[in-house]
Amino acid sequence: MKQHTKLSQEQQHTEPHQIKSQTGQEFAGAEELLRFDAAQTSVPPQIAQRLKHSAQNAAPAPRPWWKNLLGQ
């Protein structure tokens, strides 16, 4: 677990901003609610289709000369 996650949990324990949904679900705070919301959100599949089409027609930028020089 990353440090910031621990910090978030510590802060939420000491500074409770509990959130309750209308269906009775309880969340420790805004971040937990937003994580739940993000997990419920699916990416519309048409974005990938559009992106594939757009990217096929768009050449990527050439590598900078210094990257070629340094072999990066």
Partner 1 sequence: MDTTAEGSTLVGQPPTGWPSDEIAALYAEHSRAIFYLTLRFLGDPQKAEDATHDVFLKAFRSLGNFRGDASARTWLYRIAINHCQNLNQSWHNRHVQTSADDAIWENAAAKTDSPLRVLETKELGQRIQNTLDSLSDEYRLLLLLVADEELSYDEIATLLDQTADAVRGKLHRARKTFAARFEQTA
Listed in sequence order, the residues at least 6 apart from 36 whose beta carbon sits closer than 8 Å to its beta carbon are 25, 27
Q: How far is the CB of 32 from partner 1 (least distance, A)?
A: 8
Whether residue 55 contacts residue 63, with contact meaning beta carbons closer than 8 Å, is answered with: no
8 in contact with partner 1 (CB under 8 A): yes
Q: How far is the CB of 6 from partner 1 (least distance, A)?
A: 11
58 in contact with partner 1 (CB under 8 A): yes
**Distance between start and end Cα atoms, the chain:** 31
Q: How far is the CB of 40 from partner 1 (least distance, A)?
A: 5
